[in-house]
Amino acid sequence: MPIEIPVDKWPGTVRAVTLGATAAQGGTRSRTVTVGGEKSMPFLKFETPMPNPPVVAIEIRDRRPEDWSQLLLKTWESVADDPAAWAKAAEAAGADLIVLALSTTGRDGQPTTPEAAVASVKAVLQATGLPLIVFGPGQAELDNTLLVAVAEATKGERLVLGICEDKNYRTIVATAMANEHLVSARTPMDVNLAKQLNILISDMGFPLDRVLMDPTTGALGYGIEYGFSAMERLRLAALQGDSMTQLPMIVTPGFEAWKAKESKVGEGVPSSWGDWLERAINWETVTAITLLESGADILVLRHPESVKRLKTAIAELQ
């Protein structure tokens, strides 16, 4: 019998956001990456094609992250002390974008200086032509000091600066505005908090087509269902026409999954957890794919095998 497929026609569209700037656009990137633009829930191509496929970023550090799982350190062993080499290796592993996360302290144990942060960022920019996202160490004051210096030293590159939270968004947004960068706005797994921060950023006169939102998600087994539903609700609100939620979403399944015991630890765990490496990669992959299905536009991962799997899945879903 002929049947008519039920199709949703939404009034709203997610904003398209472009990361990075080429030489012609005032930066030095060899290419840019555009995310967002959706008019439907993820990958429902029988409604509308996904205008810009979600992309995969690999997270690198400005110095060897000793607190990372041994599995990750082993994987990146030869490059973990050199952010430029690490960025190249990440590009070779299939990354569409690089995330450089700055550390709280340098190798000497002293707090990271703005000069050191700028040097790391510049080294990475020289090593790769991919667009770059720079995250501060996650302490409001230090983030402000480091990110302002980075923003000024890289004017026009259209970097993404993060993390903007309700505590420190003003400084980061102001410097992003002055230096032609983007920001990533993070809120803890709540639709209204996410919306509120976007309103605050927009009220500063910052154009929303330079904002990504990071709803934070939790890992598989550690509250991912909250992130999953918060993201579905955010995306539905965007499609229904709420302009303050019409932003592409960036999520960090690599960070979330690799802090879980299942990924981090290989000894003294139940035998029902199985092989450590395979379990750890599955943990990261399942966390990431679940967020992809609920509306993620940028997935920040840590292990190259997860990157490969996610890229294959995105290609199959397109």
Partner 1 sequence: MPLTGIQIYKLLPQTNCKECGYPTCLAFAMKLAAKQVELSACPYVSEASKTQLAESAAPPIRLISLKSDGYEVKVGNEVVLFRHEKTFYNKPGVFVKIRDDQTPEQIKAIAVPADAYKVNYVGIDLTLDGFAVESVKGDPDSFKNAVTAVRQVSKRPLVLVSKNPAVMAAGLGTLSGERPLIFAADPSNWEAMVELTKQHKANLAVAPGSGGGTKLEVLADLTEKIKAKGVEDLVLAYEAQSMGEALALTTQIRRFALRKNFRALGFPVIEFPSSITSIAQSISKYAGFVVLDHFTPDLAYPVLVLRQNIYTDPQKPIQVQPGIYEINNPKPEDPLLVTTNFSITYFSVANEVEGSGLPAWLMVCDAEGMSVLTGWAAGKFDSERIAKSVREFKAAEKLSRKRMVIPGHVAVLSGELEAELPDWEVRVGPREAVDLPAFMKQALK
| Interface residues toward partner 1, by CB under 8 A | 1-3, 5-6, 43-46, 188-190, 193, 218, 220-226, 228-229, 232-233, 236, 259-262, 264-265, 268, 270-276, 278-279, 282-283, 285-286, 289-290, 293-294, 309-310, 312-313, 316-318
**CB closer to partner 1 out of 211 and 313:** 313
**CB closer to partner 1 out of 122 and 279:** 279
Minimum gap (Å) between residue 158 Cβ and partner 1: 30
For the chain, the farthest-separated pair of C-alpha atoms sits apart, in whole angstroms, at 73
Minimum gap (Å) between residue 153 Cβ and partner 1: 30
Helix (H, G, I), strand (E, B) or coil at 47: coil
**CB closer to partner 1 out of 120 and 282:** 282
Q: What is the 3-state secondary structure (H, E, C) of 199-263?
A: HHHHHCCCCHHHEEEECCCCCCCCCHHHHHHHHHHHHHHHHHCCHHHCCCEEECHHHHHHHCHHH
Minimum gap (Å) between residue 310 Cβ and partner 1: 7
Q: How many residues does the chain have?
A: 318
H helix runs in 31-154, sequence order: 70-75, 83-92, 114-127, 140-153
The answer to whether residues 220 and 195 touch, using CB atoms and an 8 Å cutoff, is no
**CB closer to partner 1 out of 246 and 285:** 285
**CB closer to partner 1 out of 94 and 223:** 223
Minimum gap (Å) between residue 293 Cβ and partner 1: 5
**CB closer to partner 1 out of 31 and 45:** 45
Report the alpha-carbon distance of residue 308 to residue 87 in Å, rounded. 16
Structure tokens at 61: 């550090």
Report the alpha-carbon distance of residue 79 to residue 60 in Å, rounded. 10
Minimum gap (Å) between residue 273 Cβ and partner 1: 6
Report the alpha-carbon distance of residue 138 to residue 122 in Å, rounded. 20
**CB closer to partner 1 out of 171 and 290:** 290
Minimum gap (Å) between residue 232 Cβ and partner 1: 5
Write 81-84 long-range contacts (CB < 8 A, 24+).
83/120, 83/123, 83/124, 83/127, 84/123, 84/124, 84/126, 84/127
CA angle 287, 305, 92 (to 5 degrees): 125
Report the alpha-carbon distance of residue 138 to residue 17 in Å, rounded. 24
Q: What is the dihedral of CA 187, 175, 170, 230, to 10 degrees?
A: -10
CA distances from 127 to 21, 103, 169, 301 (A): 16, 20, 29, 20
**CB closer to partner 1 out of 206 and 283:** 283
